[in-house]
Chain A
Amino acid sequence: MSSAYLGMPAFPQAAKAATQDARLRANLRRATHTIRDKRARAVGELDDWAALREAGRRIKDQTLRHLDVYLLQLEERVTSAGGTVHWAADAAEANRIVAELVRATGESEVVKVKSMATQEIGLNEALAEAGVTAYETDLAELIVQLGDDLPSHILVPAIHRNRGEIRDIFVERMARWGRPAPEGLTDRPADLAEAARLHLREKFLRAKVAVSGANFMIAETGTLVVVESEGNGRMCLTLPQTLISVVGIEKVLPTWQDLEVFLQFLPRSSTAERMNPYTTMWTGLGPGGAADGDGPRAFHLVLLDNGRTDTLADEIGRQVLRCIRCSACLNVCPVYERAGGHAYGSPYPGPIGAVLTPQLRGTGSEVDASLPFASSLCGACYEVCPVAIDIPEVLVHLREQVAAQPGHAAERAAMRAATWLFEHPAALAAAERTASATRALHPRTLPLGPAGAWTQARDLPRLPAEPFRTWWKRHRAEPPAAPQSTGTSQPPTTPQPPTTPESTP
């Protein structure tokens, strides 16, 4: 993945700084709560949301099960429509292919449509090494690029910036990349948008090569689909002579009918819109090929694996390949809201990043090994996911992998000791009685280890005079009290049959 993330600290350390940054906390809280509430309203409008969600889950699972078939069909259709398909096993190979394709055009700059796949492989840095400048044209990606910053959100990469900060970035940095910001630029959203429009317009009109990703690829016709809000994507996909699209292999859908499901819930889940403003679809070079004079004259599709096949092999982990990058999980996540996106050390922050990054990159680095633990397992992400990725389930599954790695000896010993104690209730009862009997001697805070982490912000619990088991022994010896009648209804006098799993509330 991108060299920009090499050597990132583990999540807890990075998050600590974020929790103490009052401006960042305020920016994130305002932004995530606004979009969270809007999404809930947009989704609430649909009375068939649950059925749509199930359809999306099923379509993705069935497609992933036969991924090889659909990818070969896609390749055949794209090729017969005048496109060229390249297969990239990893980031380095994808970057090499794109750099080579750009070099073959003789150009030294490209315009970019917002794309997570190219963030994932660090394409901009790789192109820079090859002497090619990549210009981001999505407004938020532009803010990130001008600010020499890193994205912190899948949909809104500059979510950590407020409009005053954006104004300062435009005024200070735009001139280095092209047309400077207008004199006397204010922080009014309309003025900021106009400044970006003027700055980008000259790039759109000049560019000969564009690089994009795609939200979907339709196997039956070889059609790629980009869904966006600003229209910059439409400019990049239609004006330049050469178009290069880098797309993860999991983005394929079998048919147009399948697409219908996703176009209903992607905008509602991501921007809380009923429909996104721009949906661009293209099939190779179109029916007239390179000769029709409309759109690009050369189209290259780079199909990216980069860890996806390995992820597909994991029976529990593979469900993350259903992800459509809507970012609904980020916007409801209490951990993301407080830690910010940069703490996740990857272009995929938030709950989905915590389950996607360790599978794509492995859990070898400090930050990647810490990601599966960057969650309280509250389940808000699973609740809003339009393709029903059970993120808590995958997190716990990945924790198991990390816990089996070296460096967990003390934790493993503590867990083993706890299990031993819980397997020996007499010893457990004795330990509980001892703890209660000595409670007057217990401190409220401790300096080190897990207890130290606990008492950074919280007092230790005060132990009871006796554990429950001791009370129970005494209670059982008491004569039973007469039951008391209740206000609304009487409990049944005969036992009911046990509930079945289906009927269990």
Chain B
Amino acid sequence: MRVALFATCVNDAVLPRAAIATVRLLERLGVEVDFPEQQSCCGQPQFNTGYRLLTEPLVLRMARVFETYPYVVTPSGSCAAMVRDNYPRIGAKARAEDRGEELAEAAASLAPRVVELTEFLVDVLGVTDVGAHFPHRVTYHPSCHGLRVLGLGTRPLALLRAVKDLELLELPGAEECCGFGGTFAVKNPDVSAAMGADKVAAALSTGAQVLCGADNSCLLHLDGMVRRRHAPLRTVHLAEILAATETTPWRPGSPA
């Protein structure tokens, strides 16, 4: 099977380990992965801040870049939700404004083929045990868009439970938002930080060494808070845990 990786702009520029891990994991599972290099960003920052028209060229770009792939796999619940939930809205608004069908058609073509990584693993490949090994104490934060918009449900936890030697600790108040929220983090910095501080405190209360998530934008915010307070916690994307094996273990630090 040949699929496209939609790495997302955050993973591409700031946190490439999650995208690299996704490639390694999928290839280990026998999936042929392609990275169309004309991809960039789904446009979520623009759209959610109120700049819908500036999002439109990115909708068309995404549809064009991924046109020929049966699946577009992305290690981000939020970016998958942007395409599946908001691209059809952008198309419908353009249509209602008498600006043609192009955006609606682009959305209708792309949205059903975009899948978040855990959906692809559990629903398409039909695996929960991906042969991973991660001998650490882990707690999992289910980011809001994956949880509520995509309805990822127990998929991430089922994948984590099958990881060899991983001790999974339940995160209190797991379903509460971490406070990132895109530009919310800078438009309402005090409330965002208060939410993040509570999330970090909840994660520390579990005794976990690793705070795992399936959305690096949330982890970027939480990691910034963890490092500011020098807390004994590391934020790690789920893909990195699933990519780790006994022969190629996960290692902290920047990838070469």
Min CB distance B230 to A, Å, is 10
In the complex, whether B43 has a CB less than 8 A from a CB of chain A is yes
Q: Which residues of A contact B233 (CB under 8 A)?
A: none
Contact present for B195 and A338 (CB under 8 Å): yes
Q: Separation in Å of the A433 CB from the closest CB of chain B?
A: 10
A412-B61 Cα distance, complex, nearest whole Å: 21
B84 within 8 Å of A by Cβ?
A: yes
Interface residues on B, range: 35 or more
Provide the bound-state CA to CA distance between A334 and B181, in Å.
Answer: 12
Question: Considering the chains assembled together, what is the distance between the CA atoms of A464 and B71 in angstroms?
Answer: 28
Q: How far is the CA of A480 from the CA of B30 in the complex (A)?
A: 10
B15 at the interface (CB under 8 A from A): yes
The majority secondary structure among interface residues of chain B is: helix
B201 at the interface (CB under 8 A from A): no
Which of B14, B190, B224 contacts A458, CB < 8 Å? B224
Interface size of A by CB at 8 A reads 91
Of B1, B96, B108, B177, the contact of A492 (CB 8 Å cutoff):
B1
The answer to the question of A411 belonging to the interface, with a C-beta cut-off of 8 Å to chain B, is yes
User: A191 to chain B: which residues have CB within 8 Å?
Assistant: none
Q: Is A432 an interface residue (CB 8 A)?
A: yes
Partner of B255, one of A411, A465, A476, A500: A465
Cβ–Cβ < 8 Å partners of A487 in chain B: 129-131, 162
Most chain A CB within 10 A, of B2, B31, B49, B111, is at: B49
- List the B side residues contacting A495 at CB < 8 Å: 1-2, 70
Q: Pick the residue among B125, B181, B224 that contacts A454 (CB under 8 A).
A: B224
A340 to B227, CA, bound (A): 28
Alpha-carbon separation in the docked complex, A402 to B194 (Å): 25
Minimum CB–CB distance from A392 to chain B (whole Å) comes to 9
Residue A7 is within 8 A (CB to CB) of chain B in the complex: no
Contact A457 B144 (CB under 8 A): no
Contact of B50 among A382, A403, A468 (CB under 8 A): A403
Query: Is the C-beta of B196 less than 8 angstroms from some C-beta in chain A?
Result: yes
B220 within 8 A of A: yes
Known interface pairs A378-B181, A379-B145. Does A488 touch B128 (Cβ–Cβ under 8 Å)?
A: yes
Ordered by A's residue number, 26 sampled pairs between the chains whose C-beta atoms are within 8 Å are: A12-B188, A16-B190, A334-B195, A335-B191, A374-B188, A375-B184, A376-B182, A377-B181, A382-B148, A396-B47, A396-B86, A401-B50, A418-B41, A418-B46, A418-B54, A421-B40, A423-B57, A428-B9, A454-B185, A456-B190, A457-B224, A465-B255, A468-B16, A483-B28, A489-B127, A498-B112
- Closest 6 interchain pairs by CB? A376-B181, A458-B224, A399-B50, A403-B50, A487-B129, A457-B193
